Structure 1
């Protein structure tokens, strides 16, 4: 399937990760990211697709992962993800049909009217699934982003 998507916006917890947050006794926080998702993101970047990370939490780990992947647009502690999408639209001169958002929970649904494709991972919350244009087969942090990129962007 050919796609007109030029920007993919990603939630983190439950989308780029499986939703688990590990906190050690010293306060360290650990998150697990999927290497298949990472490869898919890198391939899509090479194909000219833009990426943005939009998350309600704040973590240096997210900044480190974004840097590894080459994602320069990172928005953390976002209460209003739809406002971020509107800013990205203006910044990159895009229309909503050129933007996809991949999320997993009810706080992601707010972007629904701002994007052309509202996509959720396979293990998303039922209310997010109800609002979704596409429900992926794969769960968050398990290659769902790669599934979307392969099917909608790279057509592999």
Structure 2
């Protein structure tokens, strides 16, 4: 029943997903599973899902602007953003709404055409700055309750890829990818 209700929410989001111009992602708990690993020298390590990365590359090639917006620091996020060609990697951000608004102004994107994927209480603060607020399956309960929709996958385990596919399907771009596959065209 829960899954059917979630799918109903997604059906009514097809148009906003199709018109999306900017996708902003929290990092810890969205692109990662939220765990923090430290090597013997105390350096932070994070695990990123490679399929999420390909989903982001597909969105880039579809013309959607991407940004990471994280309260955390440590270097792994910046490395992953660089690997994926994501120019807007905002880390160490303690107050997310003003940073998000600045980014939207810089890119000329309205709140209506912005989607934010977050997993915790600090992500709720951006609610009034975005057209869509989404959450992975394992997001905190208050965020899941207030989100426009909840994904079927957990953060760091395919949530971003699921969202990428939903966006591409809403835009009519998925069928060709599904049939012919994808090649990095180095745009």
The equivalent of 2:52 in structure 1 is 37
The equivalent of 2:148 in structure 1 is 133
Taking the TM superposition and a 5 Å limit, the aligned residue runs for 1:1-156 are 1-2=14-15, 3-155=18-170, 156=174
| 1:5–1:153 CA contact under 8 A, matched in 2 | no
Quote the offset at 1:49 in angstroms: 0.5
d(CA) in 2 for partners of 1:135 and 1:40?
18
d(CA) in 2 for partners of 1:153 and 1:88?
23
| Total equivalences in the alignment | 156
| 1:58–1:76 CA contact under 8 A, matched in 2 | yes
SS of alignment partner, residue 118 of structure 1: strand
The 4+ residue runs of structure 1 with deviation greater than 4 A are none
Quote the offset at 1:154 in angstroms: 4.2
Q: TM-score, normalised by structure 2?
A: 0.81
Greater Rg over alpha carbons, structure: 2
